[in-house]
Amino acid sequence: MSITWSSDPALGYAALTAVGRVRRHNEDALLCCPQLRLWAVADGMGGHRCGEVASALALDVLRRQIARGEGLHSAVLTANAAVLAAAEEGRRGMGTTLVAVRFSGADFQLAWAGDSRAYRIGTGAIEQLTHDHSWVQAMVDAGRLSAEEASRHPLRNVLTRCLGQSGEALEVALAQGRLGHGELLLLCSDGLTRELGDAQILQLCAGAATLDALVGALVEAANRMGGSDNITCIALGLASPPPMQAAAQKPRSFLDKLLKPAKN
């Protein structure tokens, strides 16, 4: 597959999801809706016919509500209500993480619940924009675990916040930012970050020739490191400056090569 360009001609993306090497079913889901400038990753929980239903339902409701003019925060809450309602209809224990981004030009808004993540990646730098809603992250924040200890702790899968969690109102985390030329925004499930550290992700970005090659390399590397969970990622980036501008200046980022439209 080749690089896909959204309705905003400066924004390109590629996406991939895989079952991994241990699980029998893929409970992850992804949403790529360039018409709405909306992308999202969801990681379902509750087992076959529960987790995969929760993640698919959450993204379907999110897309539908955004198409109706609802804001991102409100749309996530509506998706949460849909997952809760489905759980009450016989799928007890189902739930899903969610990380979603909506762009307006180069500006973006993030919304998330759970431990699916968003990263900003530039030349020699990677920044995690989300903060995990998990028990181990709470222990790290409290100074009771190191990041290394958290990465291998037996309770690392326990979430403190997700869609479908009954008993309390969902607090959707929000963040805003602006993506520069030569930068990438990466959305991913924890099946990727469980196997690959930030430095490994950055190295793979530096070595990829296209956005499609990048998401393929990320999934392949996560599988090579064990593939203990489903793996999903979406990479988005702004195109390089127009040719006349680019000719007058040196490339600003090694990522520029990823963001050039393919020639027909």
pTM confidence score: 0.89
> pLDDT of 161-193, one tens digit each?
999 998 889 999 999 999 998 899 999 999 999
At the fourth CATH level, which superfamily is domain 4-254? PPM-type phosphatase domain (3.60.40.10)
Structure tokens that stand for 92 in this block: 């007890």
Using CA atoms of 138, 144, 149, 152 in order, give the dihedral in degrees to the nearest 10: -50
Residue among 92, 81, 96, 111 at smallest CA distance from 42: 96
The pLDDT value recorded for residue 148 is: 87
Structure tokens that stand for 78 in this block: 């509506």
Read off the DSSP letter of residue 99: E
Give me the helices (H) in 186-249, please.
190-193, 198-207, 211-224, 243-247
Residue among 97, 52, 91 at smallest CA distance from 79: 97
- Residue spans of the domains in the chain: they are 4-254
Average pLDDT over residues 198-216: 94
Assess contact for 211 and 258: CB atoms under 8 A.
Answer: yes
The pLDDT value recorded for residue 240 is: 58
The pLDDT value recorded for residue 251 is: 42
> pLDDT of 52-105, one tens digit each?
999 999 999 999 999 999 999 999 999 999 999 998 876 777 999 999 999 999
Output 119 or 11, whichever has higher pLDDT. 119
> pLDDT of 133-153, one tens digit each?
999 999 999 999 998 898 889
The pLDDT value recorded for residue 88 is: 85
pLDDT over 50 (residue 256) = yes
The pLDDT value recorded for residue 246 is: 42
Task: Report the first-to-last Cα separation within the chain, whole angstroms.
Answer: 14
Assess contact for 31 and 62: CB atoms under 8 A.
Answer: yes
The pLDDT value recorded for residue 244 is: 44
Residue among 141, 147, 97, 146 at smallest CA distance from 117: 97
Structure tokens that stand for 48 in this block: 């076959």
